[in-house]
Amino acid sequence: MTHTLHRRGTAESLSQDYVMIMLKAIDFNDTDYIPKLQEFLRICLRHDPVNIGCETKGCMYEYPPEEIIADTRGDTHAVFDNPRALAGALRDLKGADLGLSVVVSGIFEKVDECLSKAGLKHHTANFSLGVWGKTEKLPGNDVLEITTMCGHAMIATNLAKAMIEEVRTGRKTPEEAAGVLTPNCTCGIFNPARAAKLLAKAAGKNS
């Protein structure tokens, strides 16, 4: 399973959202793995990710990429907003053959297309079955589309609502509001490019 699995949105919106995670397996390939995580980030950076991060450090909206790379220790992440960039990163990762697991989250068919272009095919597939229980207590989809891009729920509902209001009143641009939200997701799996579009839509600013 992965904390990137439960992102919400339309097919069009989610087609601009792809998360990659590289991680070690305890007692299997957990020795000398740090240089491999660092190389993973270097490879991803060649393909213009909209965010990178490591669970032990934070994301590129908090720290320069080179600082994240230097301090990488745990599960490591990169986010892309288009399939071309994802396919390019996957192709380079295949060539690097780093020996650690890579998880890709996104619309299943789109991810499979990218894997095929990179000369790969998926090993295992996980699907989100949605949220069960008293779903009437959840915020609206306009907020959930934003907050579920942080799998550890560190983007607070009220903060997302506040940023929607900031955009609605013109006190912040969608990009500025997304920049306020992004650092709260310390893993670096939050997609600020998609968030800006969602904030604008929720605020009624789309043309």
What architecture is domain 11-117?
Answer: 2-Layer Sandwich (3.30)
Element at 79 (helix H, strand E): strand 76-80
Domain boundaries along the sequence of the chain? 11-117, 135-202
What pLDDT is attached to residue 200? Answer: 97
What pLDDT is attached to residue 56? Answer: 87
Across 99-196, where does the E strand assignment appear? 101-105
Query: What is the pLDDT tens value at each position of the chain, 207 positions in all?
Result: 578 989 999 999 999 999 999 988 887 887 889 999 999 999 999 999 999 999 889 999 999 999 999 999 889 999 999 999 999 999 999 999 999 999 999 999 999 999 999 999 988 888 888 889 999 999 999 999 999 999 999 999 999 999 999 999 999 999 999 999 999 999 999 999 999 999 999 999 774
Q: Check if the beta carbon of residue 52 is closer than 8 Å to that of residue 78.
A: yes
Other beta carbons within 10 Å of 158: 9
Q: Give the CA diameter of the chain.
A: 53
